[in-house]
Amino acid sequence: MSQEENLPFNEKYTLPPYKETYRRSLEDSERFWKEQALELEWTKPFSKVLDESNAPFYRWFPDGLINITQNALDRHVKTWKTNKAALIWESESGESRTLTYGQLFNEVNRLARALKDLGIKKGDRILTYLPLMPELPISLLASARIGAVHSVVFSGFSHQAIADRINDAKAKVVITTDYTVRRGKKIPLKQVVDEALKQAPSVEKVIVVKRPHFEDTKMTEGRDVYYHELVSRTGYKKVEAEETSSTDPLFILYTSGTTGKPKGIFHLHGGYGLWTYLTTKWVFDLHDNDVFFNTADIGWITGHSYIVYGPLQVGATTLMYEGVPDYPNPDKWWELIEKYNVTVFYTSPTAIRSLMKYGEEWPKSHDLNGLRILGSVGEPINPEAWRWYSKNIGHNELPIVDTWWQTETGGIMISATPGLGNYMLKPSANGLPLPGVEADVINEEGTRAKDREKGYIVIRRPWPGMLAGVWGDPDRYISTYWSKFKGVYYPGDYAVKDEDGFFFILGRADEVLKIAGHRIGTREIEDVLISFPGVAESAVIGVPDPVRGEVAVAAVVLKQGYEPSENLKKQILSHIKDNLGSLVIMKDIYFVTKLPKTRSGKIMRRLIKSVLSGQQTGDTSTLEDETSLDELKKIINEFE
Ligand code: WTA
């Protein structure tokens, strides 16, 4: 990659603020975090920075009182920013809306009041099933304001996914809307919720945002209420933010792991608040006249941290768009950048790759000169995509911050940090760890890997944005993140570190796929496959895809009485879609009579993967039955 030509890797680019801040963050950490945290407003200041008494359940600023909405809203409405745009929204439907900090504050208060009137209290769980529309961030902030715990379900997920999440979190309220729009079509959402609620008894109220031109939504008397009616029941009255503790839960967000059941990662008001605030400043360097456009959905952590909480806490203007980037034309995002004078742009490698194929003329037809910083997230960015992004969106000169992080880390962990003067970029590297992040690469034995030796990335000490745990499952928190290596946080990614301390994240080290940057466990897909009547056994693996980075492929053994056919394949594919939503891209399903297994009965996915990607299978000595591989090879050859 030719980043060197534009931004030479050179000591002079690591300006002192980054180095000095990083050094202090580790050497004098207590004082460092205290100073940083005092940039936020506290209802009651903390006396202790970190409680390690119940490690690895670390708790930050444990005796402080803070509510994230005070920092996202109250502190700005006291200043000139009350008239500054907080949120700009545009939809493919043609709707658009801009809310100033003052207006957003009022909307949040209106909903917070209404939720209180419904009897929702501190600690109750509120689930949202909303697309990118202003009521989504408003719902999150209103929930946080009254001390409730929000859980966003991505609006492309199935009724089953909603039901599972409601039941795990025991949510009392669901907030949804009539429909979302996609490529000119209305996709109903409320009816998906209705279906989910048949299996989710904890929900007492469903709040429905009414959208124009839609009459198909059915309301259930006593349970369902329209949002606009609810918030206009009482006159406007400000709701003081609930005096939440720094360690009270703010939200649960479900993400995939190596078992079939998604885990509820939860984050807290104080630590998460501070981490999203700081990382937004350090990485995106947002100032008063910046407009930040993050193309992620709020259904993922990227939207939680960098559409809602980070940008609002720093008092920036955040832009969100409901729709896909290539409809009606593949210049929708470039048009938005020009129209709203976007200065900082954040997207994913998959999005870049999908737009590349339409050619350079689309971005060329727009004035993108207002841009200052570009970002990438979700998966490693390949050189072609990086070059296209840099050339066509970044005029070959803007820094591209390649931010590595996870749902669990709350915010960015490794990246360049323009806000600290660190523009240092290297080809294919994510960059240096952010202040407070003591990252390292270790090998299977747990010893530090040599420079450029592939190993596992680990984080050697707690940081404020770290997950508080797995909702309702403390053992899973410990076994997933703190058990592979003693005393360090294990993210589950492969990485290398070079002689200058730069990290290169190489991809997942576990059974988790990243399809178009979205996380999905192979076990999760296998569980759904097995729930199909004719499927006896299945093995799912990821194979490389030129646009989506990775897609899924399954080898399936049918039950007696079922014959492989194109029709059956179609039925299985639609079963996956019904259960997991449209995000799981199944490239193909291969019908086999047996799966390659070890003598002890473990499916050898590694071998399936090698066969499917045309590589050498390597050591097959533990394989119980060699013919299982031959069969798979034969099927693939026929297929090709
Ligand atoms: C991957 C998304 C390489 C990684 C914020 C991680 C990345 C997982 C990058 C978390 C990046 C994220 N370069 N890989 N810049 N960013 N990843 O929880 O495998 O949806 O563990 O959070 O995405 O995915 P999650």
Q: How confident is the model at residue 634 (pLDDT cuts 50, 70, 90)?
A: confident
Amino acid identity for residue 76 in this structure: H
Scanning 442-580, the segments in alpha helix (DSSP H) are 474-481, 522-530, 566-580
Query: Once rounded to an integer, what is the mean pLDDT over residues 475-503?
Result: 96
Beta carbons of 134 and 112 less than 8 angstroms apart? no
Query: DSSP secondary-structure letter at 70?
Result: I
Q: What is the 407 CA–ligand 1 centroid distance (Å)?
A: 8
pLDDT at residue 14 greater than cutoff 60 = no
pLDDT at residue 306 greater than cutoff 50 = yes
Tokens of 78: 């006291």
Residue 550 Rama label (left phi>0; alpha psi -120 to 50; beta): beta
The pLDDT tens digits for 324-335 are 999 999 999 999
Q: What is the 300 CA–ligand 1 centroid distance (Å)?
A: 11
Query: What pLDDT, on the 0 to 100 scale, is given for residue 601?
Result: 84
Amino acid identity for residue 547 in this structure: V
Residue to probe by mutation, ligand 1, list 514, 518, 524, 550, most atoms within 8 Å of CB:
514
Query: Once rounded to an integer, what is the mean pLDDT over residues 243-255?
Result: 98
The Cα–Cα gap between 547 and 585 comes to 12
Burial readout 432-449 (b: 16 or more C-beta within 10 A, e: otherwise): bbbbbbbbbbbeeeeeeb
Query: What pLDDT, on the 0 to 100 scale, is given for residue 10?
Result: 44
Residue 413 has, within 13 A of its CA and on its CB side, a CA count of 27
Tokens of 388: 């296209």
The Cα–Cα gap between 596 and 541 comes to 13
CB atoms within 10 A of CB 493: 20
Q: What is the 456 CA–ligand 1 centroid distance (Å)?
A: 14
Q: How confident is the model at residue 640 (pLDDT cuts 50, 70, 90)?
A: low
Q: What is the 109 CA–ligand 1 centroid distance (Å)?
A: 34
The Cα–Cα gap between 184 and 225 comes to 27
The pLDDT tens digits for 521-561 are 999 999 999 999 999 999 999 999 999 999 999 999 999 99
Amino acid identity for residue 574 in this structure: S
Query: What pLDDT, on the 0 to 100 scale, is given for residue 1?
Result: 40
Backbone angles phi, psi at 254, to 5 degrees: -85, 135
The Cα–Cα gap between 392 and 221 comes to 53
Q: What is the 378 CA–ligand 1 centroid distance (Å)?
A: 4
**What beta strand segments (E) does 153-307 contain?**
173-177, 179-182, 185-188, 205-209, 224-226, 249-255, 263-268, 291-294
SS3 at position 466: coil
3-class secondary structure for 303-352? HHHHHHHHHHHCCCEEEEEECCCCCCCCCHHHHHHHHCCCCEEEECHHHH
Question: CB-based contacts of 407: which residues, under 8 Å, 6+ apart?
Answer: 253, 255, 265, 300, 301, 467, 519
Q: How confident is the model at residue 259 (pLDDT cuts 50, 70, 90)?
A: confident
The Cα–Cα gap between 483 and 236 comes to 51
Residue to probe by mutation, ligand 1, list 441, 519, 548, 583, most atoms within 8 Å of CB:
519
Find the helix or strand (DSSP H, E) in which 141 lies: helix 135-145
How high is the mean pLDDT of the chain? 94
Residue to probe by mutation, ligand 1, list 347, 458, 493, most atoms within 8 Å of CB:
493
The pLDDT tens digits for 155-212 are 999 999 999 999 999 999 999 999 999 999 999 999 999 999 999 999 999 999 999 9
Q: How far is CA 293 from CA 248, 337, 375, in A?
A: 29, 8, 10
Pocket of ligand 1 (CB under 6 A): 255, 300-302, 376-380, 402-407, 430, 491-493, 505, 508, 514, 519
Query: Once rounded to an integer, what is the mean pLDDT over residues 234-257?
Result: 95
Query: Once rounded to an integer, what is the mean pLDDT over residues 409-428?
Result: 91
Share of the chain above pLDDT 90, in %: 86
Residue of 292, 359, 338 lying closest to 319 (CA atoms): 292
Query: Once rounded to an integer, what is the mean pLDDT over residues 83-108?
Result: 98
Residue nearest atom 24 of ligand 1, based on CA coordinates: 406
The Cα–Cα gap between 87 and 626 comes to 59
Residue of 431, 406, 610 lying closest to 492 (CA atoms): 406
Q: What is the 272 CA–ligand 1 centroid distance (Å)?
A: 18
Query: What pLDDT, on the 0 to 100 scale, is given for residue 9?
Result: 43
Q: What is the 493 CA–ligand 1 centroid distance (Å)?
A: 9
Which atom belonging to ligand 1 lies closest to the Cα atom of 403? 15
Q: How confident is the model at residue 482 (pLDDT cuts 50, 70, 90)?
A: very high
Question: CB-based contacts of 448: which residues, under 8 Å, 6+ apart?
Answer: 440, 441, 442
The Cα–Cα gap between 56 and 539 comes to 34
Residue nearest atom 23 of ligand 1, based on CA coordinates: 378
Query: Once rounded to an integer, what is the mean pLDDT over residues 496-522?
Result: 94
Q: What is the 377 CA–ligand 1 centroid distance (Å)?
A: 7
Residue of 283, 143, 267, 132 lying closest to 209 (CA atoms): 132
Amino acid identity for residue 603 in this structure: I
The Cα–Cα gap between 504 and 451 comes to 11
Which atom belonging to ligand 1 lies closest to the Cα atom of 415? 15
Query: What pLDDT, on the 0 to 100 scale, is given for residue 67?
Result: 98
Instruction: State in Å, rounded, how far the first CA of the chain is from the last one.
Output: 32
Tokens of 379: 């998966």
Query: What pLDDT, on the 0 to 100 scale, is given for residue 5?
Result: 42
pLDDT at residue 2 greater than cutoff 60 = no
Query: DSSP secondary-structure letter at 380?
Result: P
Scanning 561-640, the segments in alpha helix (DSSP H) are 566-580, 605-612, 627-639
Query: What pLDDT, on the 0 to 100 scale, is given for residue 639?
Result: 61
Q: What is the 404 CA–ligand 1 centroid distance (Å)?
A: 6
Asked whether the ipTM of the predicted complex exceeds the cut of 0.90, the reply is yes
The Cα–Cα gap between 59 and 45 comes to 15
Residue of 517, 539, 533 lying closest to 592 (CA atoms): 539
Q: How confident is the model at residue 622 (pLDDT cuts 50, 70, 90)?
A: confident
Q: How confident is the model at residue 237 (pLDDT cuts 50, 70, 90)?
A: confident
Which atom belonging to ligand 1 lies closest to the Cα atom of 302? 5
Q: How far is CA 45 from CA 14, 70, 314, in A?
A: 34, 14, 19
Q: What is the 571 CA–ligand 1 centroid distance (Å)?
A: 32
Beta carbons of 573 and 589 less than 8 angstroms apart? yes
The pLDDT tens digits for 347-379 are 999 999 999 999 999 999 999 999 999 999 999
Residue nearest atom 13 of ligand 1, based on CA coordinates: 380
